[in-house]
């Protein structure tokens, strides 16, 4: 096993009615003036926001609640919330939602701690050196933002919009409240997209440049098998507590770094992450659901890069799906087909045409490739490093 540093400081509070401990945990981590950030009106209509506000206020905490975070969260919303949080004097942020809400919380938190900076500064080169503490009340199992060190935001000032991510330990939540019952009212498509994203967070780490981390592989392969089993059950019956609890816990474990330990080396991030970069470019330009962008490109990416190490794809197929084919190339292809079957069982698209509702034109493919490469200024991936021509070839293959 190669050298690694592992850091996962978030306190997990899991189970039914755990949202009732929100105020207790805010106080534990020093909060007194709490900015509550959430997404749409469903959290209000369900009574969840009201319950959390009452829980905080009954504990003597000052509260300001702000909704309006959209999927693929945007810079303009984060700026507005940061300004309101500054005026309110917020010293703690509670995010009620999923990855979009929590990524917005992280953007706001960094800006409150360094008000001399604009939010976008931190996504365009300024180092995050301090932040406001954040707690999560998770209502969507998908992004794993509640336990990860990453945050992604779309700059909607730019034409076309551009999507960027940053990774640092100031993005870590102090606590994550995880009650699977809070995810049971989600639309089935959103549950499916979340399960796909969970699968992909482990896939990105399972296909790194550095291999030979056997316990890490076992953990990753177990997570694959678990989300493959329970993801479709949750989509079919969101009231199934066992399935929804497995999906929720898979979501956190998939993005806390456990399934990538030992494959990092001297790089700033463990794993490959090409599919996420391919998907983020699509969602930046089209606003497409993140998990669905990943299922649309995964098979094309896999077939494009698999010969870099066909044995790795064969191991994936055998350990995750129980495929017994002796030939590595045949086993690898069977594993790709099985994964597409899993994505289909979640109700996810398998091509750009399915995702976008039309076959993309040559110009659209060029535009997505430009966004993915930041106008020819970067390459992506580590399992196989992909340049502009490679990326365009993959987009064409998943057309």
* Digit-coded pLDDT (tens) for 125-169: 999 999 999 999 999 999 999 999 999 999 999 999 999 999 999
Residue 322 region, left (φ>0) first, then alpha (ψ -120 to 50), else beta? left
Half-sphere exposure of 28 (CA within 13 A, CB side): 11
Is 268's pLDDT higher than 60? no
Q: Are 284 and 154 in contact (CB under 8 A)?
A: yes
Q: Are 346 and 369 in contact (CB under 8 A)?
A: no
CA–CA dist 35, 82 (Å, integer)? 10
- The CATH number covering residue 206 comes to 1.20.1090.10
Q: What is the pLDDT of residue 270?
A: 74
CA torsion sign for 101, 245, 197, 184 is negative
Last residue of a domain, one of 149, 182, 215: 182
Q: Are 136 and 99 in contact (CB under 8 A)?
A: no
* Residues 343, 245 within the same domain: yes
Mean pLDDT in residue range 209-233:
93
Q: What is the pLDDT of residue 264?
A: 60
* Digit-coded pLDDT (tens) for 198-213: 999 999 999 987 778 8
Average pLDDT over all residues of the chain:
96
User: How far is the CA of 282 from the CAs of 48, 161, 162, 288, 289, in angstroms?
Assistant: 32, 11, 10, 7, 9
| Spatial CB neighbours of 367, under 8 Å, sequence gap ≥ 6 | 160, 285
Confidence of residue 103 (pLDDT cuts 50, 70, 90): very high
Q: What is the DSSP string of 109-133?
A: HHHHHSTTS-GGGGGTTPPP-----
* Residues 81, 114 within the same domain: yes
Confidence of residue 327 (pLDDT cuts 50, 70, 90): very high
Reported as type and span, the H/E element at residue 92 is: strand 92-97
CA–CA dist 111, 108 (Å, integer)? 5
The residue among 40 and 148 whose pLDDT is bigger is: 148
* Residues 337, 266 within the same domain: yes
DSSP structure class, residue 265 = T
* Residues 267, 174 within the same domain: no
* Residues 338, 376 within the same domain: yes
* 4 lies in some domain: no
The angle, 0 to 180 degrees and rounded to 10, between the axes of the packed helices 388-397 and 290-305 is 110
* Residues 225, 143 within the same domain: no
> Over the range 97-109, which residues count as b (16 or more CB within 10 Å of their CB) and which as e?
bbbbbbbbbbbbb
* Digit-coded pLDDT (tens) for 343-379: 999 999 999 999 999 999 999 999 999 999 999 999 9
CA–CA dist 334, 98 (Å, integer)? 33
Q: What is the pLDDT of residue 311?
A: 97
* 3 lies in some domain: no
Q: What is the pLDDT of residue 269?
A: 60
Is 267's pLDDT higher than 60? no
CA 236 from centre of chain: 22
* Residues 163, 238 within the same domain: no
Is 262's pLDDT higher than 90? no
- The CATH number covering residue 113 comes to 3.40.50.1970
Q: How many domains does the chain have?
A: 2
* Residues 104, 32 within the same domain: yes
* Residues 175, 44 within the same domain: yes
Last residue of a domain, one of 154, 182, 210: 182
Q: What is the pLDDT of residue 159?
A: 92
Look at the chain and count its residues. 399
Is 53's pLDDT higher than 70? yes
Range of the domain at 223: 185-397
Kindly report the CA angle at 394 between 392 and 396, in degrees rounded to 5?
Answer: 70
């Amino acid at each position: 096993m190669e050298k690694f540093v592992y850091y996962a400081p978030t306190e997990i509070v899991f189970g039914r009615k755990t949202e009732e401990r929100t105020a207790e945990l805010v106080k534990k981590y020093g909060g007194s003036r709490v900015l509550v950030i959430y997404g749409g009106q469903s959290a209000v209509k369900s009574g969840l926001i009201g319950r959390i506000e009452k829980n905080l206020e009954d504990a003597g905490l000052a509260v300001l609640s702000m909704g309006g975070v959209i999927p693929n969260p945007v810079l303009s919303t984060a700026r507005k919330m940061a300004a309101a949080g500054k005026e309110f004097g917020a010293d703690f942020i509670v995010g009620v939602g999923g990855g979009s809400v929590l990524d917005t919380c992280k953007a706001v938190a960094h800006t409150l701690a360094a008000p001399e900076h604009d939010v976008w500064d931190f996504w365009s080169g300024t180092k995050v050196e301090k932040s406001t503490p954040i707690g999560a009340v998770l209502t969507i199992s998908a992004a794993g933002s509640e336990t990860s060190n990453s945050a992604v935001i779309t700059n909607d000032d730019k034409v076309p919009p551009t999507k960027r991510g940053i990774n640092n330990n100031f993005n870590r939540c102090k606590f994550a409240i995880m009650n699977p019952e809070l995810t049971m009212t989600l639309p089935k498509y959103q549950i499916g997209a979340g399960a796909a994203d969970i699968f992909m967070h482990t896939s990105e780490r399972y296909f790194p440049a550095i291999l030979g981390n056997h316990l890490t592989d076992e953990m990753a392969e177990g997570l694959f098998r678990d989300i493959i089993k329970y993801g479709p059950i949750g989509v079919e019956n969101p009231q199934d507590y066992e399935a929804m609890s497995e999906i929720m816990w898979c979501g956190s474990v998939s993005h806390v770094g456990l399934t990538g330990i030992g494959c990092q080396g001297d790089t700033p991030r463990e794993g490959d992450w090409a599919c996420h970069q391919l998907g983020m470019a699509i969602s930046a330009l089209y606003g497409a659901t993140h998990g669905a962008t990943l299922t649309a490109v995964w098979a094309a990416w896999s077939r494009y890069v698999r010969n870099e190490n066909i044995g790795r794809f064969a191991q994936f197929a055998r350990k995750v799906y129980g495929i017994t084919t002796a030939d590595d190339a045949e086993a690898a292809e069977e594993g790709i087909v099985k994964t597409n079957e899993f994505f289909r069982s979640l109700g996810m698209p398998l091509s750009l045409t399915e995702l976008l509702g039309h076959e993309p034109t040559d110009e659209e493919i060029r535009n997505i490739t430009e966004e993915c490469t930041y106008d020819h200024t970067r390459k992506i991936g580590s399992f196989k490093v992909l340049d502009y021509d490679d990326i365009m070839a993959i987009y064409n293959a998943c057309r």
